[in-house]
Structure 1
Amino acid sequence: MSTEVINVAEIFGENVFNDTVMQERLPKKVYKNLRKTIEEGKDLDLETADVIAHEMKEWAIEKGATHYTHWFLPLTGVTAEKHDSFVSAPLPSGKVLMSFSGKELIKGEPDASSFPSGGLRATFEARGYTAWDCTSPAFVRQDAGGATLCIPTAFCSYTGEALDQKTPLLRSMEAINKEALRLLRLFGNTTSKKVTPSVGAEQEYFLVDAEKFEQRKDLIYTGRTLFGAMPPKGQELDDHYFGTIRQRIASFMRDVNIQLWKVGVTAKTQHNEVAPAQHELAPIYSEANIAVDQNQLTMQTLKRVACQHGMKCLLHEKPFAGVNGSGKHNNWSITTDDGINLLEPGKTPHENTQFLLVLACILKAVNVHADLLRESAADPGNDHRLGANEAPPAIISIFLGEQLEDVVDQLISTGEATHSLNGGKLDTGVSTLPELSKDATDRNRTSPFAFTGNKFEFRMVGSRDSIANPNIVLNTIVAEAFADACDILEKADDFDLAVHDLIKEYLTDNQRIIFNGNGYSDEWVAEAERRGLPNIKSMVEAIPAITTDKSIKLFERFSVFTKAELESRAEIQYEAYAKAINIEARTMIDMASKQFLPAFIKYTKTLADTVLAVKEAGVDAAVQTEALKEVSALMAETKAALDVLVKVTDEAAAKEEGEVQANFYHSDVVPAMEALRAPVDKLEMIVDKEAWPMPSYGDLIFEV
């Protein structure tokens, strides 16, 4: 175990081409032009780009880089990259120069036909472009392949459609910036020049031993266990949560932190999560597009460093049935370039009219577009997690807390808010403990969209998903609400009266979305239905929200997506779901056919031989016979369920691709998978451990 002392301040950002490095290395005029591009969206001329590219290359080579890559986020859920070396054409002397031009920095040209495009690109139409996102800093990644200069980029087709997560995210950030500035100007703010959504993504994950991982085909192919009985102990004692971090895990976390700090990720919080072998890492907030890039870096680093420590990092939302799955809480706020947080209520929120209007607009946005926000967290793995007593329900609601709910109630009932509840002091009953100031409201971990002091926490997002899509939706729906409010208030003769009336109207019309109670309860499901809130339980039920007239109008109004881009994304989602379930089903078929049934047959022979031997010895063999009958019956149930799964999986593959096929996988294949798992999991509790063909849950989650 390394005992080397690490000076975080010295290593932080050392592999990032950040503002400090740019100021040091770029000519003043070039640096000034680049800052204008970053802050104001000014065009970057090729001459300036050439200078930046040269200095970026020189800096990267000093870090050991031999290659560069345009690092982008296609619609696969993971990053993509093509590496090119800095080597230029050989000189007559046989030597080579190391070169990197402005053109190579600004534009790349990966094959667009091999990435998901939902019909935007035909197989024979290969051209696509990556464009440098200068608002997200370049960095040098150091791994087993050496050092590589990674340049964050957007990815679009030859005809201009977005084929990635970054392009629409940047569009949505421009939309909320424009509309938020309109709102601020109404309140007399003439100094703020830019409004940016800030995001902090808490990343949950599991760690398992690599050797045991390699013995499980389901983990290798799908990222989750498709079979597995619960061990005698799970998470019932809550002893893992915030427990002492074991030395092997602590060593892993230390190396993860060092790698992340070097590339500028502000890894701050780490702890054991609720489930055995589950952990969490959380960064400090950053601008939304940087947060998206850094979360992808975080997931890649977790996986890479885990391998170096003889472990595997599982990012699936539900790798183990029966214990908590993993999410990614997306903490979202809106801040100005001069430090104003639009979601900061202050000590007396009832007097903070600007905050109350922002809050009312967000309530409206989430209420009107609850289906779209739910879809932004849709994922095959999340179907196993959302709605269980471990994660927010599939019903979108907003938790405001006692203080804000009281203010809202005052405004709705009387039209005036005259006071705000205070937190007071916490009395521990112990004289030696310090007196603590309480927050004005408690927290609610069952809410999918909770106000937590000066931000909203969207808790639905799956652990392996990019946070781009949830933030695209949040930015755009709030931009719409701001725009609608500004359209009314800019025409008002009496602004104070108009804003007062509008806040009350928005709160009254959208109060059904507010819920401070227990989101896990059956009573809430019934109450949500009474309120008319959508309860979208699966990914295939969520996907249609992308292409409703309401969604198309929303995204086209703010130029975030075109109708064609939305339709393509729906198609990609259906295809992704079908492929994921198909892989899981065929993995189950493979495991049942080649591992479980042969093991059961061998075990029944052992039991049968034992029955005969006991009977020949003249002893009652009733117990052994009963065990043989039970195993044989469950084995027959397994074979029958396997035959059904083979049949329906073949039928699914023959269905028309898209919505029809995805729905068939959901309605027919998934239940058939569950039916096959049930007898196998029962058999695991009966069959001799030595005869069981793979590591059990207990082996995986308690022996890391």
Structure 2
Amino acid sequence: MSGSQARVKAIAAITKYKAEKPGKPVEGLKLEKLYGANVFSESVMQERLPKAIFKSLKKTIKTGAKLDPTVADAVATAMKDWAISKGATHYTHVFYPLTGLTAEKHDSFLVPDGKGGAMAEFEGKQLIQGEPDASSFPSGGLRSTFEARGYTAWDVTSPAYIMESPNGTTLCIPTAFLSWTGEALDKKTPLLRSLQALDKQARRVLKLFGKEPKDRVTCFAGIEQEYFLIDRNFFFARPDLFIAGRSLFGCKPPKGQEFEDQYFGAIPRRVLNCMMEVEEDLYKMGIPVKTRHNEVAPSQYEIAPLFEEGNTATDHNHLVMHTLRRVAKRYGLACLLHEKPFAGINGSGKHLNYSIGNSELGSLFDPGDTPHENMQFLVFCAAAIRAVHKYGAVLRSTVASASNDHRLGANEAPPAIMSMYLGEMLTDVFTQIKNGGAKSSKAKSVMNIGVDTLPPLPMDPGDRNRTSPFAFTGNRFEFRAVGSSMSVAGPQVALNAMMTESLDFIATELEKKTGGDTKKLSKAVQEVLQEIMQKHDAIIFNGDGYSEAWHKEAEKRGLPNLRCTPEALPALTTPETLDLFTKYGIFSERELRSRQDIYVEYYCRTVMSEANLVVKMAKTTIYPAALQYQKDLAGTGSALEKPVKDKAAALLDAVARLEKAMAMHLPDILEEAKHLCGVVLPAMNDVRAVADDLEGLVADDLWPLPSYMEMLFIK
């Protein structure tokens, strides 16, 4: 296929590839025994802890009661003994700094006994608190660089687990990460705060309906993770992929995804073996992965778990991403989690299926068969409508990044305009409420297929809308704008805060209107919901979110269209946002402003690093190939000589314009981000356009980079 030595060697290596660890069938192994085998779960705690200690710990986990510090020593001893029985020699506090990645520092259980020997030791104080150096983590001005102290705090609500590696195992303890002043330097702390606030306000509403659940009301998350797998030989032959995570060059292949034959197609054997090992590792860590399949783009796949409590689901999604990357290497593959690793085909998202409730209540977004009669559901759904309309810009800001900007708004992901899809049945019900009162709901029907041997299928009252950022899907909402490489903590924090404020508003209004008289509740609910719909129904849109008509309509409705990260991030520090988060103790003003600074700076660094890479690759990889081909054509009379010469010159001109744009720096970081977005990125695209034209002209045996055709279709 190609005479380029790097590419020829890569293709040869792929065709001769043998897995480092051949896929092993789980024959005779009961999945029930495999699942959770490496988790310090409730059943393990019940078996190993004194009854009183277990009872106290369980109360904290289930009800959100304060953690009794006196239980720590007993838990630490039991956790250590259990971990050592699993082969662990070290423990680590796992936390999620504002880099968006996982961080950990490993400490050994081994302590010298002073007699020439050693013993294993792990005390309650080591379980509860760690002290990693915080100086090199982003803080956005929350502390000076020379102030290094940071603390990790044990999150009892997310279970500890064992991480296996070929040479041993490690006890991993999920933790929050805070500065010496107690300010959040991580993703987990605000999430835990938001869950506490949500529980309080949801209980106020439920109490009006005569319900006082024993367990805390929390959010639940089901996180669909999309990703690409390509051969590592190609990966390391593409500097843009292994440095930037996305291909900065590459012309469109003869075939892309237009045949629609990849989606749900047969999974390639090597990929399937990799997926099976990923699942086995995840099962052991108690992660309930349920689904695997081919996604829309070639070499794109998806893994999805069952619903879990939101905090645990966030921790587990970090483990999913880590495990995908780690296991892929053993099969000679590279896992790409960038939102847009390849131009011209679908990028990768992370769909956050969101609901609130608990095991006693079920989902509070469950409408039942007659939603117009389900007052409790109508109240919680109306709270979501009000929340997304009032704080849509905040929600958009939580998914803003340089990488996700390449994906949002394309015909593969929801637009940057935040809107809500309710479907025909619920839209009809809430329209009735707006006009004076709901009296009916569209019923479900049955689909008659016309083949006697096939069963009749129950039909939902309305179809799904895949272009909506926030779509109702039966008993939950699906937030589809999250990027594949992102932590889902940020969007959950925003959703929890928004719902908290809306439930607070509704509870306050209903308490005023009823005065504690339950007989007045029905009338009060109708009045409050009607007011909400009259003020906030502009957020509901069931049509095509990709259409230009919707963009014009959204503008008329006053819905913000924050197309890029520099436009979206300022929403984090508007007076309305500051009031939302500070009122419920989720963020302080300093914490919010620090996050805006961190995310803007990260955007700038990302774009600048990519721009530097474009310049380097254009000058040292692509131009020399064009120059060599130009020399080969010289004197041959080939009609290609002039086009190649012209394009080579155009490439250097485009690089010069890019370098000029990169040399301009603005003193204000947000203005710098706007310059990078509006000037540098288009200049990068200009360089790419010329380089991609050259790829279509230069002889294949001279082109130095693996092509899209090779990377996406050679398995």
What is aligned with 1:650?
A: 663
Give the Cα–Cα distance (whole angstroms) in 2 for the partners of residues 434 and 222 of structure 1: 50
1:340 corresponding residue in structure 2:
362
Structure 1 residue 62 corresponds to structure 2 residue 85 = yes
Whether the 8 Å contact between 1:194 and 1:337 is mirrored in structure 2 is: no
Task: Say whether the 8 Å CA contact 2:203–2:212 is kept in structure 1.
Answer: no
Note if contact 2:399-2:483 (Cα within 8 Å) is conserved in structure 1.
Answer: yes
The 5 A counterparts of 1:490-639 are 490-493=511-514, 494-609=520-635, 611=636, 621=637, 624=638, 626-639=639-652
The 3-state SS of whatever aligns with 1:326 is: coil
Contact 1:112 1:121 in 2 (8 A): no
Write the distance in 2 (CA, Å) between the matches of 1:527 and 1:4: 54
* 1:33 shift after superposition: 1.7
What secondary structure does 2:440 align onto?
A: coil
Q: Report the residue type matching 1:263 in the other structure.
A: M
Question: Per-residue deviation at 1:294?
Answer: 0.2
Identify the match of residue 689 of structure 2 among 668, 678, 684: 678
Alignment-mate amino acid for residue 347 of structure 1 = D
> 1:77-116 maps to which residues of 2 (within 5 A)?
77-92=100-115, 94-116=116-138
Match of 2:445?
424
CA–CA distance in structure 2, aligned partners of residues 46 and 471 of structure 1: 28
Equivalent pairs, count: 687
Partner Cα separation in structure 2 for residue 57 and residue 191 of structure 1: 34
CA separation in 1, counterparts of 2:130 and 2:608? 34
**Amino acid of the residue matched to residue 463 of structure 1?**
S
Tell me what 1:618 maps to.
none
CA distance in 2, matches of 1:144, 1:633: 54
Give the secondary-structure state (helix, strand or coil) at the position aligned to 1:690. coil
Deviation at 1:4, TM superposition (A): 4.0
**CA shift for structure 1 position 554:** 0.4
Cα RMSD (Å) of the superposition?
Answer: 1.2
**Secondary structure class of the residue paired with 2:136:** coil
- Determine if the alignment matches structure 1 residue 7 to structure 2 residue 64: no
Query: Which stretch shows the higher mean deviation, 402-411 or 72-81?
Result: 402-411
User: How far does residue 496 in structure 1 lie from its aligned partner after superposition?
Assistant: 2.2
SS of the residue 1:692 aligns to: coil
Question: CA distance change for structure 1 residues 359 and 43 in 2, over 3 Å: closer, same or farther?
Answer: closer
Q: Identify the residue that residue 460 of structure 2 maps to in structure 1.
A: 439
Given the alignment of the two structures, is residue 299 of structure 1 paired with residue 321 of structure 2, yes or no? yes
How far apart are residue 423 of structure 1 and its match? 2.1
Q: Which amino acid aligns with 2:307?
A: Y
Distance 2:168 2:703 in 1: 41
Distance (Å, rounded) in 2 between the aligned partners of 1:191 and 1:658: 47
Structure 1 counterpart of 2:9: none
In the alignment, which residue of structure 1 is the partner of 2:491? 470
> Which deviates further from its counterpart, 659-668 or 598-607?
659-668
Q: Structure 1 residue 109: deviation in Å?
A: 0.5
Q: Which amino acid aligns with 2:243?
A: Y
Q: Which runs of 5+ in 2 are unaligned?
A: 1-22, 515-519
Q: How does 1:45-444 map to 2 (within 5 A)?
A: 45-92=68-115, 94-144=116-166, 146-413=168-435, 415-444=436-465
Q: Equivalents in 2 of 1:143, 1:213: separation in Å?
A: 24
In structure 2, how many angstroms separate the alpha carbons of the residues matched to 1:122 and 1:261? 42
Q: Secondary structure at 2:92's aligned position in 1?
A: strand
Conserved? CA contact 1:224–1:320, under 8 Å: yes
Question: Is 2:666 the counterpart of 1:640?
Answer: no
- Once the two structures are overlaid, the 10-residue window that deviates more, 415-424 or 476-485, is 415-424
- How far apart are the structure 1 equivalents of 2:156 and 2:536? 39
Aligned counterparts of 1:314 and 1:270: Cα–Cα separation in 2: 16
CA shift, 1:338, in A, is 1.1
Answer yes or no: is the 8 Å Cα contact 2:63–2:215 preserved in 1. no
Structure 2 CA distance for aligned equivalents of residues 554 and 546 of structure 1: 10
Quick check: 2:62–2:215 contact (8 Å CA) kept in 1?
no
How many angstroms apart in 2 are the aligned matches of 1:284 and 1:188?
Answer: 30
Corresponding residue number in structure 2 for 1:690 = 701
Query: Residue 500 of structure 2 aligns to which amino acid in structure 1?
Result: A
What is the distance in 2 between the residues matched to 1:416 and 1:581? 52
Take 1:670 and 1:290, find their aligned partners in 2: how far apart are those partners? 37
| C-alpha contact (below 8 Å) 2:61/2:157 kept by paired residues | yes
Q: Contact conserved, 1:192 with 1:337, CA < 8 A, in 2?
A: no
- The AA in structure 2 aligned to 1:501 is E
Secondary structure of 2:577's aligned partner: helix
Q: Judging changes above 3 Å, is the alpha-carbon distance between structure 1 residues 365 and 229 closer, same or farther for their aligned structure 2 residues?
A: same
C-alpha displacement at 1:7, in angstroms?
2.2
Q: Structure 1, residues 431-473: CA drift from partner, whole Å, max 9, x if none?
A: 2211111112211101100000000000000000000000000
> How far apart are the structure 2 equivalents of 1:657 and 1:112?
26
Partners of 1:348 and 1:189 lie apart in 2 by 20
1:67-125 per-position Cα deviation (integer Å, ceiling 9, x unaligned): 10000000001010000010113431x11001001000000001111101000011100
Matches of 2:281 and 2:610, distance apart in 1: 33
In structure 2, the residue matched to 1:487 is 508
SS at 2:512's partner residue? coil
CA contact (8 A) 1:374 1:396 kept: yes
Please list, as runs of the form range in 1=range in 2, the aligned pairs for 1:26-41 lying within 5 A after superposition.
26-41=49-64
Return the alpha-carbon distance in structure 2 between the equivalents of residues 42 and 305 of structure 1. Answer: 38
The residue aligned with 2:474 is 453
Q: Do the aligned residues in 2 keep the contact of 1:396 with 1:449 (CA within 8 Å)?
A: yes
Q: Which consecutive residues of structure 1, in runs of 5 or more, have no partner in the other structure?
A: 612-620
Name the SS of the counterpart of 1:491 in structure 2: helix
SS in 2 for 1:689: coil
Cα separation, 1, equivalents of 2:54 and 2:85 = 20
Residue 46 of structure 1 and its aligned partner are, at CA, apart by: 4.5
Residue pair 2:83, 2:171 contacting (<8 A) in 1 also = yes
Aligned to 1:617: none
Task: Give SS of 1:677's match.
Answer: helix
Q: Deviations over 1:166-185 (max 9, x none)?
A: 00000000111100010000
2:647 maps to amino acid: L
Structure-2 separation of matches of 1:193 and 1:271: 35
Deviations 1:25-84 (A, max 9, x none): 111111112122223444444442111111101111111111100000000010100000
Measure how far apart 1:565 and its partner are.
Answer: 0.4
Listed one character per residue, the Cα deviations across residues 612-668 of structure 1 (whole Å, up to 9, x for unaligned) are xxxxxxxxx3xx1x311001111111001111212222324xx33621222221122
**Cα displacement (A) at 1:135:** 0.1
Q: Which moved more, 1:138-147 or 1:549-558?
A: 138-147
| Residue 192 of structure 1, CA deviation | 4.5
Does the 8 A contact of 2:604 with 2:673 survive in 1?
yes
TM, length-normalised to structure 2: 0.95
Query: Is 1:17 aligned with 2:17?
Result: no
TM-score (norm 1): 0.96
Residue by residue over 1:536-572, the C-alpha shift from the partner in whole angstroms, topping out at 9 and shown as x without a partner, is 1101110000000000000011000000000000000
Q: Could you tell me whether the CA contact under 8 Å between 1:412 and 1:508 is conserved in 2?
A: yes
Is the contact made by 1:65 and 1:147 (CA closer than 8 Å) also made in structure 2?
Answer: yes
Q: Is the 8 A contact 1:552 1:563 kept in 2?
A: yes
Task: Give the counterpart letter for 1:261 in structure 2.
Answer: Y
Work out whether residues 407 and 420 of structure 1, in 8 Å CA contact, stay in contact via their aligned partners in 2: yes
Q: Which amino acid aligns with 1:553?
A: D
